[in-house]
Amino acid sequence: MNTLKRAVSNSAVMFLSQGITWTATLFLTAALGRYLGAAGFGDLYLAMSFGVIFSGVVAFGLDQQLVRAVARDRTLASSYLVHSLTIKFVLSVLAFAMIIGLTYLLGYAPVVRMTITVYCIVILFHAVTDSTTAVFQSYEHLFHPALGTVIEKVFVAAVAIVLLTRGHGVVAVAAVFVIGGLLGALWRVLFLRKMVRFQFAVDVKNLRPLMVGALPFFVYWMLSAVYFRIDTVLLSILSTADVVGWYGAAYKLFDTLSFLPSIICTAIMYPILSRLAVQSRANLRFALGKGLDVMLMLGIPICTGLFMLADPIIRLIYGKPEFLNAVPALQWLALALFLMYVNWVLGTVLIGLDREKRLTVVAGLSLVINLALNWVLIPPYQHVGAAAVTVGTELFIFVYLVAILPRDLLSRSSLIVFAKAVIAAGAMAAVLYALRGQSLLMLVPLGGLVYGLIALLLRLVPPDDLRLFKQAVLSRRGRSAAGTKTA
């Protein structure tokens, strides 16, 4: 029960920080669209896609191994962190050289090459951020990494918006992302030193087993990173900068809303599941069920609302009529978003069970399917075809993961939660459709209210879970008050 209370407490911290960073990112996204236009937005989003793809190269799967190992034995924290960062530094240099070479090989314009080159410097800083955050996660202490993310995102949004209003272009904005990444990394290192006593000694003998152990993670996350971003690169080759901008406008919102599985799975569930996998099968099944239930209860209304309100959302955020071309792509991505939510939970369980090698198979198959379908559908359907391919690929991943997940870990109670959430979301969708054309500022809270009321009537959230959440919040307040008195 202490584990579950700690998970709920960490969830509250992460959701609060995510609310702040989500707001900052939303304002920045709106400014980018309004000041850069579709073509400039497309150039920046292409740079971000390169960053994501090559971040997978640099990460090398080390962070997942770090979380799992340190969650089980905290004495490994210093050694694993130092050796992970050493490997990442070498890989960052190699990745940066590859990026520069590709920008010339693909024949990008000078401003696009410069944007990609400048932005991708952030890969090194995010490598530090991810490794230090992994140690925090293994300790199940998420306050400082959450605050570090807030500092980074708010800084980037504030400075970039100021630069845009003063006439600066996409390269200057890319540089701001780099500085923000540096600030976020420094913040985490500063506070991690108070938890872990670093020993800056690199033993070459320890590098090889670390890299070998991380290899399955690397293959999976590398293939996944390419799968999630290769469509943008293909669009840049097979279409225009405007089309990349339309797709980027839709995908940026898709990315922003991926915070839910990032919080629940990566930051909270993974260290818990890694520990329970070697301690208690029954508790592991219970934790999986609760995590999946939360994802369903929150993910279904979010994705339904995104689909129903795609048009007014695009109008409000981006302002310019040219971005209305992003609406159908966003509706397709809303469907993919729900599948991704569920797939993230199932994948996290398999990694916690040390079965990440099976994930490399689905990642490889998904990449092949994604590439083939994108190559066929992008020429006639452009960004909408790319979005539809994302849905098909996520559906394939879902079927595969359900097929290989141990049957004793699956609970029928999650099907009941799914059915109730769908009913509540259906009522919300009906109201949103009936009031289409009204202000988005009215429709969003109204839709949430309808979903919440129907969920209460259906007892979507069990009373025991509500009491647990209340106890966790009161417990955190009590610790904060005690700390204040002591100070």
pLDDT score of 8: 58
CB contact burial 298-319 (16+ within 10 A = b; e otherwise): bbbbbbbbbbbbbbbbbeebbe
Q: Label residue 333 by pLDDT band (50, 70, 90).
A: very high
Reported pTM: 0.81
- Euclidean distance between CA atoms 229 and 221, whole angstroms: 12
Q: Label residue 428 by pLDDT band (50, 70, 90).
A: very high
Residue that the structure tokens 């996520």 belong to: 394
pLDDT score of 485: 46
- Euclidean distance between CA atoms 327 and 34, whole angstroms: 16
Contact 280, 72 (CB under 8 A): no
Q: What is the pLDDT of residues 462-487, one digit of tens each?
A: 766 656 555 544 554 554 444 444 43
Residue 395 or 75, more confident: 395
Q: Label residue 279 by pLDDT band (50, 70, 90).
A: low
Residue 122 in this model has a pLDDT that exceeds 60: yes
> What's the mean per-residue pLDDT of the chain?
85
Residue 423 or 207, more confident: 423
